[in-house]
């Protein structure tokens, strides 16, 4: 297993739709193992193929809820169904999220409260997860990566402006930038 470099906003692979996974082989198994190791080392709660430079429709996730239940898995060629978004002002505390491809920054973003994730696993077995709350947010965030969308692309005013300022300050937004969990230190 290996920790993979995580691409930073501006890299074309992050801003283009990913292709369906068609080869379920040892190479895919190794990629998934490496993605779990990279996500854990970062540390993060999700990581999509495009974030490690692989333009395929898959993501890994790992999060322990308030009841100490571990939600961990891989979603390959997923489909995501979501409930309508709530209306009103976004809550800066409970709706704040970050992204390993926009490292060290957090902004509030409204997400659906409930989702249904349908995908296949490494053995091409279909599965379905009904998720609420934070796990629903993780699924939406990672699914967006597969469509070439970063969470900062969805931000409203004034947060979009703050994200653009952070991108300029860090000299992001150009191809070829990445960081390596465990080696590069990024401050929150």
> Per-residue pLDDT for the chain (188 aa), expressed as one digit of tens each?
899 999 999 999 999 999 999 999 999 999 999 999 999 999 999 999 999 999 999 999 999 999 999 999 999 999 999 999 988 888 888 999 999 999 999 999 999 999 999 999 999 999 999 999 999 999 999 999 999 999 999 999 899 999 999 999 999 999 999 999 988 754 33
In angstroms and rounded to an integer, the radius of gyration of the C-alpha atoms of the chain is: 16
CB atoms under 10 Å from CB of 171, counted, come to 10
Domains of the chain, with CATH numbers? 6-179 (3.90.45.10)
| Whether 97 is catalytic | no
Question: Is 71 one of the annotated binding-site residues?
Answer: no
pTM of the model: 0.95
Cβ-contact 98, 106 below 8 angstroms: yes
d(Cα 155, Cα 150) in Å, to the nearest integer?
10
Question: Is 145 one of the annotated binding-site residues?
Answer: yes
Question: Is 130 one of the annotated binding-site residues?
Answer: no
Pairing of strands 96-99, 126-132: unpaired
Catalytic residue among 27, 33, 142, 187: 142
- Give pLDDT, residue 188: 34
Greatest Cα-to-Cα distance within the chain, rounded to the nearest angstrom: 47
């Amino acid at each position: 297993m290996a920790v993979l470099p995580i691409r930073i906003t501006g890299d074309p692979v992050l801003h283009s739709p990913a292709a369906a996974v068609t080869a379920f082989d040892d190479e895919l198994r190794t990629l998934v193992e490496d993605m779990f190791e990279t996500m854990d080392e970062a540390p993060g709660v999700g990581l999509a193929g495009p974030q490690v430079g692989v333009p395929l429709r898959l993501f890994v996730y790992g999060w322990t809820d308030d009841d100490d239940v571990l939600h961990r898995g891989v979603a390959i060629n997923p489909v995501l169904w979501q409930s309508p978004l709530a209306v009103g002002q976004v809550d800066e505390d409970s709706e704040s999220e970050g992204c390993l491809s926009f490292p060290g920054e957090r902004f509030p973003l409204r997400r659906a409260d409930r989702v249904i994730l349908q995908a296949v696993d490494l053995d091409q077995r279909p599965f379905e997860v009904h998720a609420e709350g934070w796990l629903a947010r993780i699924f939406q965030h990672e699914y967006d990566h597969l469509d070439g969308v970063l969470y900062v692309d969805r931000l409203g005013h004034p947060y979009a402006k703050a994200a653009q300022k952070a991108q300029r300050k860090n000299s992001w937004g150009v191809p070829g930038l990445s960081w390596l969990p465990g080696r590069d230190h990024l401050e929150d």
